[in-house]
Amino acid sequence: MFFWRERIEPTGDSYGVEWAVTDRWGGSSLDEHAELNLALHVGDRPEAVETNRHRLAHELGLRLPDLRFMDQQHGCDVALTAELAEGQAPSVDALVSGSSDEALVVMVADCAPVLLLDRTDGLVAAVHAGRPGMVSGVVPATVARLRELGARQLEAVVGPSVCARCYEVPAEMRDAAAAVEPVSAGVSWTGTPSVDVAAGVVSQLVREGVTVRWLPGCTREDPNLYSYRRDGRTGRFVGVVRLLPPERAA
């Protein structure tokens, strides 16, 4: 079920966190969606997706409605879950929460999942950062929203995404990305122009003063992860983050 998972217990007045990146195994989806597809919009059977989401919620000790999803748009809009109805999936590419009763979810199949945390002020965010989102600044917009809410010591995990070797694009597209984040300009394994989205995202985070962990792995090269670039019709894996309340709140 998990490509990567970490739980940091709360200590004193500091919040803990449970955050993870899923893989494609341990679910009920079939054929090209096998097995742990967590997206409803990719042609999978709805009952299979619901079962898979229940399994993820159970692993996190939550109910299915406690998983907060987005209707991702490849933009830079950010939503605060406290302003949403239960079960509402807003048309944004970043969610921010200060609640330990829910987990934020970002779905990907080549884009970079970004999970953000402030353990002092008790804030988390999940960000969908594809090439358009990286260029339009969804990560800096999310960091700005977190800081408006009081975040001071942010750390981030950037999950696996398609690497520069595998993300071939037209030269004009690479140049547009490089104009925003020069480090994102790449060369594919055949010597053609490419984009390294995650490198651009990491550069943005570092510039914002965020402590970053960049998990290794390329979605197109790893059969344990879903990849739209590799397979076309396929499922989605997720990054997920949940606050754990400090000991004083127990």
Across the range 146-169, mean pLDDT stands at: 97
Residue 249 domain-assigned (yes or no): no
DSSP structure string for 92-105: -SEEEE--SS-EEE
Q: Is residue 94 one of the residues assigned to a domain? A: yes
pLDDT > 70 fraction of the chain, expressed in percent and rounded: 99
- What is the rounded average pLDDT of the residues 216-237? 97
Instruction: Indicate whether 87 pLDDT > 90.
Output: no
171, 106, 200, 223: CA torsion to nearest 10: -70
Q: Is the pTM of this model over 0.85?
A: yes
Q: Are 126 and 113 in contact (CB under 8 A)?
A: yes
Is residue 199 one of the residues assigned to a domain? Answer: yes
Residue 91 domain-assigned?
yes
Tokens encoding 27:
């679910």
**pLDDT (average), residues 226-245:** 97
pLDDT at 248 over 80: no
Q: How far apart are the first and last CA of the chain?
A: 29
* 68 phi, psi to nearest 5 deg: -105, 110
- 145: DSSP letter: H
Give the three-class secondary structure for 193.
strand
Q: What's residue 249's pLDDT?
A: 54
The C-alpha atoms of residue 154 and residue 66 are separated, in whole angstroms, by 23
- The rounded distance, in Å, linking the Cα atoms of 69 and 39 is 10
Distance between CA atoms of 143 and 31, rounded to whole angstroms?
38
φ, ψ of residue 46 to 5 degrees: the values are: -55, -40
**Within a domain: residue 31?**
yes
pLDDT over threshold 60, residue 60 = yes
Q: At what angle do helices 197-207 and 171-180 cross, to 10 degrees?
A: 10
Q: In this structure, is residue 250 part of a structural domain?
A: no
Enumerate the β-bridge partners of residue 107: 238
> What is the pLDDT, as a whole number, of residue 51?
98
Judged against a pLDDT cut of 60, whether residue 110 lies above it is answered with yes
Q: Which structural domain range is residue 219 located in?
A: 2-244
Model confidence at 86, pLDDT cuts 50, 70, 90, reads: confident
> Residue 121: which CATH number?
3.60.140.10
Q: Does the structure show a pLDDT above 80 at 222?
A: yes
Residue with tokens 């309340």: 245
Is residue 28 in a domain? Answer: yes
The amino acid that residue 24 corresponds to is R
Inter-residue contact 63 to 43 (CB < 8 Å)? no
- The count of structural domains within the chain is 1
